Amino acid sequence: MQVTNIKAFVPSNDYAVSQRFYTEIGFKAEYVSDDLTLFQNGDCLLFLQRFCNQELAHNFMLQICVSDIQVAYDLCSKASNKTKITPIQQESWGKVFYLSGPAGELLHITQLGN
């Protein structure tokens, strides 16, 4: 098997709130169906689904790699429907901050390297 792409299906408690959240942090929305929206930023895509299992949502994580963590942090800090954002942290492998989305999903916003 040769994998050419993977897209995650992100849960949402309130579909409209989650749609606004992902738009506010820089993704462009494309309608797929009344229960599914495709979000894109550059070559990266994810599906937002009108479905939520609270246990799944609170254990759902995505690593989102960015080229400039400060620009990402400034943008994500303004998102109206975030539930939590941490300061940028320096790690041995790069920089990261953690952003919790409206359904409780955890985004690891990461700039790899020093």
pLDDT at 54: 87
Q: What is the mean pLDDT of residues 42-47?
A: 95
Q: What is the mean pLDDT of residues 5-26?
A: 95
Give the integer Cα–Cα distance in Å for 87 and 96.
8
The single residue listed with the structure tokens 């993977």 is 6
Residue 85 burial (C-beta neighbours within 10 Å; 0-12, 13-18, 19+)? middle
54, 83, 86 from 102: Cα distances, Å: 11, 6, 15
Architecture of domain 9-112: Roll (3.10)
Report the SS3 class of residue 111. strand
pLDDT at 83: 81
Kindly report, residue by residue over 53-101, the tens digit of the pLDDT: 889 888 999 999 999 999 999 999 998 887 899 999 999 999 999 999 9
pLDDT at 56: 87
- Residue 52's pLDDT band, with cuts at 50, 70 and 90, is confident
**Where in the chain are the domains?**
9-112
